Amino acid sequence: MQSYAEGPVTEGDRPLGMYVHVPFCSVRCGYCDFNTYTADELGEGATRATYASSAIAEVRRAAEVLGRRPVETVFFGGGTPTQLPADDLVRVLRALDEHLGLAPDAEVTTEANPDSVTPASLARLREGGFTRISFGMQSAVPHVLATLDRTHDPARVPQAVRWAREAGFEQVSVDLIYGTPGESVDDWRTTLDATVALEPDHVSAYALIVEDGTAFARKVRRGEVVMPDDDETADKYLLADAVLSEAGLGWYELSNWARDADARCRHNLLYWHGADWWGVGPGAHSHLAGRRWWNVKHPAAYAQRLERGESVEAGSEVVDAAGRRLEQVMLELRLREGLALDALDAAGRAEVPDLRDRGLLLGDERLVLTLEGRLLADAVVRQLTP
């Protein structure tokens, strides 16, 4: 397997996505363990002002490995990419185009917190080549937002979505979280109704995960907040699917709904199909033809290594055939288009009739989860990969 610095990888037929991690947030949400830093946490040796230049230095290194290979999708995530000036994000996007080359119809997404954009910043991003924006809405209910430490006023979301439309964004998505302590089923319905009223092209809705080591996990451990039971979380998933489907947003992945096939997030589809992607930025992960690697985590170490002309790779692994098969089952079974039956080994195929009889799976050549199966997806994957 070719390593990071060994020259062009000739895998021209596999679609390529670029991820750009922006590790800054104004406030850390208690539940989040992403690699992100507030101004207080950042310390010496890295600043927001120089971040775009560091990221561009990694883009140049990526081009040495990849050669010119059309980039089908670009995704700026975080952290909060829109904590950086729009001009900085556009500079990084230009560098990707200059050094690697964007495909003519490339999908270019940025994540954004609703209170980190203005009409002017959105217009600049759109004119600079961004086509898609994903707002971290999470909830429309103030007490739920407060439990999540989210800083925006719920009224800011419709405003930000309107600004994005006025700026000409082709695709507008919102991220939701359900299962926050204290969130009633009615609260969740309020959030879903508010979401539908935004007429988004795409919605992601994830159950809140208690991540070890976070402030939120400590509160759960101390009993200050109580997580809902699995039945309530399942009911909220069913409600989400019913309300979003009724509004014309169909599921295409377990936690993702889209207006139509064009509104699906092509970047995430590329991950879920095991394509190639390069993650730029501290702590970012990459995958090229079965080899994975990850970058040094801290922005200061990342910037210093690039300044010295060194690799930012911190570690790597080659996933073996068994690992790749397990991943393929886990990821593709979550998709509406389903998992090809021949991706399973003989022992997995032998389990299919039982899962069909229990109403969890449909299909012959491609296996697709039923609604009931979507609620039990992890258990279905375990049964198919004995």
Stretch that binds ligand SF4, among 76-84, 199-207, 232-240, 378-386 (CB under 6 A): 76-84
CA atoms within 13 A on the CB side of 69: 23
Binding to ligand SAM in span 42-101, by CB under 6 A: 77-78, 80
Q: Which parts of 335-364 interact with ligand SAM (CB under 6 A)?
A: none
Shortest Cβ 79–ligand SF4 spacing (Å): 5
Q: What angle do CA 118, 207, 362 make, to 5 degrees?
A: 115
* Nearest to ligand SAM of 252, 385 (CB atom): 252
Residue 240: CB atoms within 10 A of its CB come to 24
Q: Which of 14, 28, 259, 336 binds ligand SF4 (CB under 6 A)?
A: 28
**x/- site string to ligand SAM, residues 174 to 203, per CB under 6 A?**
-x-x--------------------------
Using omega within 30 degrees of 0 as the cis cutoff, is the peptide bond preceding 79 cis? yes
Q: Which is nearer to ligand SAM, 181 or 363 (CB)?
A: 181
Of 28-36, 161-169, 256-264, 333-341, which segment contacts ligand SF4 by CB under 6 A?
Answer: 28-36
The CB-of-142 to ligand SF4 minimum distance in angstroms stands at: 17
- In the complex, minimum distance from the CB of residue 34 to ligand SAM, in angstroms, rounded to a whole number: 4
Q: Does 136 bind ligand SF4 (CB under 6 A)?
A: yes
Q: Which does 282 bind (CB under 5 to 8 A by kind): ligand SAM, ligand SF4, none?
A: none
Long-range contacts of 157-162 (CB under 8 A, 24+ apart): 157/114, 157/194, 157/198, 158/194, 158/197, 158/198, 159/114, 160/112, 160/114, 160/117, 160/122, 160/135, 161/135, 161/198, 161/200
Structure tokens at 103: 């495909």
Decide if residue 164 touches ligand SAM (CB under 6 A): no
Rounded Cα distance, 89 and 265, in Å? 20
User: CA–CA separation, 196 vs 119, rounded Å?
Assistant: 22
Q: How many CB atoms lie within 10 A of CB 336?
A: 16
Residue 33 beta carbon to ligand SAM: minimum distance, rounded to whole angstroms:
7
Residue 37 to residue 382: CA distance in whole angstroms: 36
Q: How far is the CB of 336 from ligand SAM (least distance, A)?
A: 21
Show the site string, 86-125: x = touches ligand SF4 by CB under 6 A, - = not. ---------------------------x------------
Torsion of CA 176, 130, 86, 93, to 10 degrees: 120
Angle at CA 312, nearest 5°, toward 310 and 315? 125
Cβ of residue 191: shortest distance to ligand SAM, in angstroms? 13
Q: Which does 28 bind (CB under 5 to 8 A by kind): ligand SAM, ligand SF4, none?
A: ligand SF4
* CB-CB contact of 83 with 25 (8 Å): yes
Place of tokens 């009409």: 119
Indicate which of ligand SF4, ligand SAM, none lies near residue 209 (CB less than 5 to 8 Å, by partner kind): ligand SAM
Which listed residue (16, 18, 22, 29) binds ligand SF4 by CB under 6 A?
29
Q: Which two tokens stand for residue 96?
A: 């990707």
> Which residues lie near ligand SF4 (CB under 6 A)?
25, 28-29, 32, 34, 36, 78-80, 113, 136
Contacting positions for ligand SAM (CB under 6 A):
31-32, 34, 77-78, 80, 111, 113, 136, 138, 175, 177, 206, 208-209, 211
